[in-house]
Structure 1
Amino acid sequence: MTIDLDAVRARLSAAGLGARPAEVAGVLADLGHVVSDGALLATVDALRRESTGAGPLDELLRLPGITDVLVNGPHEVWIDRGRGLERSAAAFTDDASVRRLAVRLAALVGRRLDDSSPFVDARLPDGTRVHAVLACVAGQTCLSLRVPARTALTLADWEAGGGLTAQGRAVLTGLVRQRRAVLVTGGTGSGKTTLLASLLGVVDAGERLVIVEDSRELCPDHPHAVRLEARSANAEGAGRVGLTDLVRNALRMRPDRIVVGEVRGAELADLLAALNTGHEGGLGTVHANAPASVPARLEALGALGGLGRHALHAQVAAALDAVVHVRRAGDGRRFVSTIGVVRAGSDGLVRVESALTWDDAGVARAGPAAADLTVLAGA
């Protein structure tokens, strides 16, 4: 006979009992179940996972290499272990059980999730980023969990995993050690943040990193890193700390390098100003489909910070040196596909010109800016 956890939970709640073995055994007996050691332990474990863990997702979150767990309603759970999305056998009893988990995870970090506030985007104490949307908006409760890397990958790890060639590793190492300002670009889930953390591991141990993030994801292998995280407003609409505030404060913290985990808004103006006033070697990421589309993307972000088109391009030309683009191969593997050089044209507008590109098989091709990249990397 299958044990109905909802019925067990309801009996425990009505009697004011906890999920201790003796109390659960009594409830199982009252419900007509044969109370074997195996059934009792499995029931207690399931109840405790629902009350303190991530329920049916607990085992998935512990899988080696896991980066994302996506729940599309009670019967559809997907995972990503670095090779693209895979359907999981995990499932919930019903949408109410997914909603209970979402509400509990939101409450864990002091956030509200109900029909009047059906979205939440927060970081759990262990660093996992959780986004939830309730059925009143999505038709069924959906959860998206982004799992932080348990260990920081090095550039050597990228090379060993096929995400980077020996040539690419040497160029990236040179760019960082020559204190060039670099943007890592790519689409959602392409590995931008992971690669950025790897680049920070190349920075000299004597340099002080001040890292600004909307949600803490970077965990670089570096002995002197200060990490600042944005904060949402509370229920009264007060207490918000945005990326612009953090970038401005980072400048007063004696940074050797300023790092912005993801440039996504008005903070771009302050970051460019910093990179143009002696703060060399800055790094960050930005969403872009291709290196050539980076200037247009920066124009849109610069407008949020009050920068006109020509002012933005002038700032970018003086501040940024190179763009590193990452994407997924056909087999789901993340890899560095392009390194481009930032150049200003005779019209004053910035372009990102290809210097090195790699196809899915790792075959390299030199672009028109290859000579400039060699100079930037100190080769």
Structure 2
Amino acid sequence: MPAQAVASDLVDRVRRRLAAEAAAPTADNVARVMRAEPGVFGPETVLAVVDQVRRDTAGAGPLEPLLVEPGVTDVLVNGTRGVYVDRGQGLEPVPVGFGGDDEVRRLAQRLASLAGRRLDDASPWVDARLPDGTRLHAVLAPIAHPGTVISLRVPSRRSFSLDDLIAAGALGPDGAEVLRGLLASRAAFVISGGTGTGKTTLLSALLAEVPVDERLVVVEDAAELRPDHAHVVALESRPANVEGRGEVTLRDLVRQALRMRPDRLVVGEVRGAEVVDLLAALNTGHEGGCGTIHANSAADVPARFEALALSAGLPREAVHAQLAAGLDAVIHLGRGPDGRRAVDHLGVLRVGPSGVVECVPAVTFDGLRGVRSGPGHEVLRAVLGRRRAV
């Protein structure tokens, strides 16, 4: 039997016997167990079984090579129907397979246990961070179809600079100067975009441009921001334990961050009741605050803030009044037809006739060809003029 063709049922039998004996999947133990199997196995087959059993009992199993592959940002498992990765150019299938949904389920449950979370029929989904920083989301079958679904978001293993993003084609030199001007003006801004568009990467690159004598206090659900900056204090939320105790929410952390003398308050992702405290902070002298938010375009960001704040009990009029007074700009990221991520446009906020805040395009980023002015350009000039002009 060639090593690359090891039968899954043989691996399953070896795994079960090792588990029954509480034996480690060493070469000696696997060889001993395989001697009880019918047939004769050569050294290559034994080593292949050792490798497979180890992958199935530690780490991310067959997904482990994908998680450490340079450039991979997401690994997605659609039951037994396929595994996909995102290397920055959209999703693409990879030749990794599972023998059945039971195997996918075991992997999902093992990863959840590594994160200290529960995943079973009574609690069929999990959203957690693994010890290496990888973001795990999983939903068990039959809730998920066509089987257990696993989504892994791989944290960046390096901090990107604006120059790196220019080199990657995500931003042109002229666009980078506009963003540097936004930072220098200490304007409050959010970065919007869909999942996987590079919001965290861009925010980290921008924070690296903040003067070294400023203190950054970063609040996140999962520690993903790694700005190359000399003075960063990070706070990370925590879910409740199995007894329902010990939860620390983003809203709790935003309140604590405001007492830590931040020069800039950074909320990794605004997605819940913490929006109320963030808006309050932006309206009480905390300049330069920033964060990310999910939205289809910069124009949709005020409505997104409104929905989040209303669910937290803040009246609509108060939401828009605080947005108008506290938030200056929205940087929107998108994906091109080829799947590449890029900074798309920057919008500024203005109050409409009804008192509702609108976000209007100020500049559109056209890659290496520069930036094009929009109807909000004069407002942006005024914002940047606090320290410098466009």
1:357 maps to 364
Residue 362 (structure 1) shift: 5.4
Deviations along 1:321-368, whole A, 9 cap, x unmatched?
A: 111000001111100110111122343221111111135785642101
In the alignment, the residues of structure 2 paired with residue 256 and residue 361 of structure 1 have an alpha-carbon distance, to the nearest angstrom, of: 32
Deviations along 1:134-183, whole A, 9 cap, x unmatched?
A: 11311411100000000011111111111101111001011112211011
- The answer to whether the 8 Å contact 2:85/2:91 transfers is yes
2:119 maps to 113
In the alignment, the residues of structure 1 paired with residue 58 and residue 346 of structure 2 have an alpha-carbon distance, to the nearest angstrom, of: 45
Moved more, 259-268 or 6-15: 6-15
User: One-letter code of the match for 2:113?
Assistant: A
Residue 235 (structure 1) shift: 1.5
TM score, norm. by length of structure 2: 0.93
In the alignment, the residues of structure 1 paired with residue 188 and residue 152 of structure 2 have an alpha-carbon distance, to the nearest angstrom, of: 31
2:130 maps to 124
- The answer to whether the 8 Å contact 1:118/1:136 transfers is no
Alignment of 1:63 with 2:83, yes or no, is: no
Describe how 1:225-374 pairs up with structure 2 within 5 A: 225-358=232-365, 364-374=371-381
Residue 375 (structure 1) shift: 3.5
In the alignment, the residues of structure 2 paired with residue 10 and residue 159 of structure 1 have an alpha-carbon distance, to the nearest angstrom, of: 52
What runs of 5+ residues in structure 1 fail to find an aligned partner?
none
Secondary structure of the corresponding residue to residue 35 of structure 2: helix
Secondary structure of the corresponding residue to residue 136 of structure 2: strand
In the alignment, the residues of structure 2 paired with residue 296 and residue 92 of structure 1 have an alpha-carbon distance, to the nearest angstrom, of: 42
- The answer to whether the 8 Å contact 2:360/2:376 transfers is yes
User: One-letter code of the match for 2:65?
Assistant: E
- Give % identity: 56
Residue 372 (structure 1) shift: 2.6
- The answer to whether the 8 Å contact 2:124/2:143 transfers is yes
2:84 maps to 78
In the alignment, the residues of structure 2 paired with residue 141 and residue 235 of structure 1 have an alpha-carbon distance, to the nearest angstrom, of: 22
Moved more, 3-12 or 67-76: 3-12
Alignment of 1:12 with 2:18, yes or no, is: yes
Residue 237 (structure 1) shift: 1.5
Secondary structure of the corresponding residue to residue 360 of structure 2: strand
Kindly report structure 1 stretches of 4+ aligned residues shifted beyond 6 Å.
none
In the alignment, the residues of structure 2 paired with residue 15 and residue 352 of structure 1 have an alpha-carbon distance, to the nearest angstrom, of: 64
Secondary structure of the corresponding residue to residue 135 of structure 1: coil
Residue 278 (structure 1) shift: 1.0
- The answer to whether the 8 Å contact 1:210/1:258 transfers is yes
Moved more, 349-358 or 312-321: 349-358
Describe how 1:23-102 pairs up with structure 2 within 5 A: 23-102=29-108
Residue 16 (structure 1) shift: 3.9
User: One-letter code of the match for 1:170?
Assistant: E
User: One-letter code of the match for 1:133?
Assistant: V
The 1:167/1:35 distance shift into structure 2, 3 A limit, reads: same
Deviations along 1:293-334, whole A, 9 cap, x unmatched?
A: 111111111112322122111111110111100000111110
User: One-letter code of the match for 1:115?
Assistant: D
Residue 291 (structure 1) shift: 1.1
Pick from 155, 158, 165: which aligns with 1:158?
165
In the alignment, the residues of structure 1 paired with residue 336 and residue 224 of structure 2 have an alpha-carbon distance, to the nearest angstrom, of: 23
In the alignment, the residues of structure 2 paired with residue 69 and residue 193 of structure 1 have an alpha-carbon distance, to the nearest angstrom, of: 17
In the alignment, the residues of structure 2 paired with residue 363 and residue 175 of structure 1 have an alpha-carbon distance, to the nearest angstrom, of: 16
Pick from 212, 221, 224: which aligns with 1:214?
221
The 1:68/1:98 distance shift into structure 2, 3 A limit, reads: same
In the alignment, the residues of structure 2 paired with residue 15 and residue 234 of structure 1 have an alpha-carbon distance, to the nearest angstrom, of: 31
Alignment of 1:144 with 2:151, yes or no, is: yes
- The answer to whether the 8 Å contact 1:329/1:360 transfers is no
In the alignment, the residues of structure 2 paired with residue 196 and residue 240 of structure 1 have an alpha-carbon distance, to the nearest angstrom, of: 27
Residue 32 (structure 1) shift: 3.5
Pick from 197, 213, 229: which aligns with 1:190?
197
Deviations along 1:2-25, whole A, 9 cap, x unmatched?
A: 342101112223344321111111
User: One-letter code of the match for 2:308?
Assistant: L
What runs of 5+ residues in structure 2 fail to find an aligned partner?
none
Residue 29 (structure 1) shift: 2.8
User: One-letter code of the match for 1:368?
Assistant: P
- The answer to whether the 8 Å contact 2:364/2:374 transfers is yes
- The answer to whether the 8 Å contact 2:175/2:371 transfers is no
User: One-letter code of the match for 1:43?
Assistant: V
User: One-letter code of the match for 2:52?
Assistant: A
In the alignment, the residues of structure 2 paired with residue 75 and residue 298 of structure 1 have an alpha-carbon distance, to the nearest angstrom, of: 37
Aligned length: 379
- The answer to whether the 8 Å contact 2:174/2:370 transfers is no
